[in-house]
């Protein structure tokens, strides 16, 4: 099997995997970075969102063979101690209910705020519309993003 050289959360990893292996499974099964969640596996829910070169990206859709030399950041690498402004706002607003989708939500929100530091409610709803939450924590997510941006 081929070996892929990946940079994940600032650390180099050599991963032996089938070229079609989704990045999501490399993160979870090869590297035990299980903060990134499997929801639908077909790019519809956002639970598997990570940053690839700073852009929020669905790791279930990305093959390991496509991400060599890219900077990949997972929820574990967003900050060392939960001190990213989005994580602080998430705790302050007490966003999660079951929590399953929240890593993906935070990764989408943090990438979004890097592109729009002062978003309107509509901007936030548009940016986050691809991240689903079965507990419907959407109002708290929106409030936390407003808090993080203020």
Least gap, CB of 99 to ligand FES (angstroms): 15
- From CA 40, how far away is CA 130, in angstroms rounded? 12
- From CA 16, how far away is CA 129, in angstroms rounded? 35
Stretch of residues binding ligand FES (CB under 6 A), selected from 25-33, 44-52, 69-77, 118-126:
44-52
Least gap, CB of 141 to ligand FES (angstroms): 16
Give, in order, the Cα–Cα distances in Å from 5 to each of 58, 67, 71: 19, 9, 11
Closest C-alpha among 79, 95, 75 to residue 33: 75
- From CA 140, how far away is CA 129, in angstroms rounded? 14
Nearer to ligand FES, 43 or 85 (CB): 43
46 lies in the binding site for ligand FES (CB under 6 A): yes
45 lies in the binding site for ligand FES (CB under 6 A): yes
Closest residue to ligand FES using C-beta atoms: 60
Closest C-alpha among 55, 119, 109, 120 to residue 84: 109
Nearer to ligand FES, 105 or 149 (CB): 105
List interacting residues with ligand FES (CB under 6 A): 38-41, 43-48, 58, 60
């Amino acid at each position: 099997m081929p070996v892929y050289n990946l940079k994940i959360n600032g650390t180099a990893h050599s991963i032996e995997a089938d070229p079609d292996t989704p990045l999501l499974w490399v993160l979870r099964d090869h590297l035990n970075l299980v903060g990134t969640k499997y929801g639908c596996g077909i790019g519809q829910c956002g639970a598997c969102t990570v940053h690839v070169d700073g852009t929020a990206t669905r790791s279930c859709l990305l093959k390991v063979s496509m991400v060599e030399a890219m900077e990949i950041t997972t929820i574990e690498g967003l900050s060392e101690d939960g001190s990213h402004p989005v994580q602080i706002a998430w705790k302050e607003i007490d966003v999660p209910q079951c929590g399953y989708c929240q890593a993906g939500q935070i990764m989408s929100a943090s990438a979004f705020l890097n592109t729009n530091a002062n978003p309107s409610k509509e901007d936030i709803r548009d940016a986050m519309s691809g991240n689903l939450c079965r507990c419907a924590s959407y109002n708290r997510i929106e409030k936390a993003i407003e808090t993080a941006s203020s």
